[in-house]
Amino acid sequence: MGQWTVTQTAHPDHARSDAPAALGLLLDVDGPIASPVSRTVAIPSILGDLVLLAASGVPIAFITGRSDAFIRDEVITPLLSAGLGEALSLPGTRMFGVFEKGAAWAPVTSAGLGEIVVDESVALPAAVVDEIRALVSAEYADTMFFDETKRAMISVEQRMDVDREAYLPEQERFNAAAFAVVERHGLGVRLGDREAPDATGRVPFRLDPTVISTDIESVLLDKDRGAERTLEYFAAGGPLPRVWRSVGDSRSDYLMADHLHSAGYEVAHVDVRPRDGILERDYDVVTEGELIHDEAGAAFLEHWVRTLGLRD
């Protein structure tokens, strides 16, 4: 994988800490950045364009349900190989990661991920984690695996060697079994329209199925929480841009733009899987023509690299 030179393409005026950048980015990872098929950054231009944007002073955050380990290995390490370390050594540059939908976070520095902070208040009890792990091992290991890298939530993911047609019916069966486990431990839980409150009538946890996994998580975790934490971090490093773009492939990703809009910023959301249905919002929702997933993400990043004059 080649390395992009950032010293000749960075714009020093954008990297000054006393001048706001022209743009800020909040990026989901699975879909717009990492391929949902390979679960890696499969389009090289994504790496190069992220490096150029970071070097120009654009604050960039990855707000994802993935673990910090996944982001470190599959996103940050390839970015470092593409020149991110040099980019983030420039004055005024900012990059941040929010993992597990807000349960953990860390700055991204020229050396990679910084110290990981975990919000233990939203973590599932160890007994539930252990029982779900055992359930997967005993009954579902042919189609899915337990993600051991998660710190506060539970994720059970489709195996790479299993096709979608084989996975989906097993995912549905697993969801029902996992719901029963959480309910049996006395924790309030919901799955879609189904709810089982705890003894106090509360429902503090949910099952959230995605196209490749099922997450079991606190209802306090979501992309708006990640956006709020990101803005707090970026604000400590200098003025924030007025213009923001959020990018994602699921309906929950709109929450990033919701938070930015409610905070008074000029925002548009880029939906890279619009066939699931574009949501009605008071801000613009953008698609990349017929492109979806990481091909749409690559086109979006290229557009802004050219718009900001970082490439002819």
- pLDDT value at residue 18: 65
CATH of the domain at 20: 3.40.50.1000
**Are residues 228 and 92 part of one domain?**
yes
Residues found in the chain: 312
Beta strand 117-118 with 194-196 is unpaired
**Are residues 214 and 139 part of one domain?**
yes
Alpha-helical regions (H) of the chain: 44-55, 68-71, 77-81, 84-88, 126-135, 164-184, 223-235, 254-262, 293-307
Q: Do the domain assignments include residue 4?
A: no
Question: How many angstroms separate the Cα of 122 from the Cα of each of 96, 127, 239?
Answer: 20, 15, 31
Q: Do the domain assignments include residue 256?
A: yes
The helix, strand and coil proportions of the chain, stated in percent and rounded to the nearest 5, come to: 40, 20, 40
CA 245, CA 257: separation in Å to the nearest integer?
7
**Domain end among 164, 194, 218:** 218
**Domain end among 195, 218, 241:** 218
Q: Do the domain assignments include residue 159?
A: yes
- pLDDT value at residue 230: 98
**Are residues 59 and 35 part of one domain?**
yes
Per-residue pLDDT of the chain (312 residues; tens, 9 = 90+): 344 444 333 444 444 456 789 999 999 999 999 998 899 999 999 999 999 999 999 999 999 999 999 999 999 999 999 999 999 999 999 999 999 999 999 999 999 999 999 999 999 999 999 999 999 999 999 999 999 999 999 999 999 999 999 999 999 999 999 999 999 999 999 999 999 999 999 999 999 998 899 999 999 999 999 999 999 999 999 999 999 999 999 999 999 999 999 999 999 999 999 998 999 999 999 999 999 999 999 999 999 999 999 987
- pLDDT value at residue 55: 97
Residue written as tokens 């029902």?
A: 176
- pLDDT value at residue 1: 36
Q: How many domains does the chain have?
A: 2
**Are residues 161 and 129 part of one domain?**
yes
**Are residues 78 and 35 part of one domain?**
yes
- pLDDT value at residue 62: 98
- pLDDT value at residue 4: 40
- pLDDT value at residue 7: 36
Range of the domain at 37: 12-103+222-307
Q: Do the domain assignments include residue 149?
A: yes
**Are residues 33 and 87 part of one domain?**
yes
**Are residues 286 and 205 part of one domain?**
no
**Are residues 237 and 213 part of one domain?**
no
**Domain end among 181, 199, 218:** 218
Strand partners, 248: 271
Q: Do the domain assignments include residue 48?
A: yes
Q: The pTM is what?
A: 0.90
Question: How many angstroms separate the Cα of 78 from the Cα of each of 47, 173, 233?
Answer: 7, 36, 24
Residue written as tokens 């910084």?
A: 114
CB 248, CB 256: distance < 8 Å:
yes
Q: How many degrees, rounded to 5, is the angle at CA 237 between CA 223 and CA 233?
A: 25
CA 94, CA 238: separation in Å to the nearest integer?
9
**Are residues 135 and 88 part of one domain?**
no
CA 65, CA 63: separation in Å to the nearest integer?
7
- pLDDT value at residue 211: 85
CB 270, CB 32: distance < 8 Å:
yes
CA 183, CA 54: separation in Å to the nearest integer?
45
Instruction: Quickly count: other Cβ atoms within 10 Å of residue 252's Cβ.
Output: 16
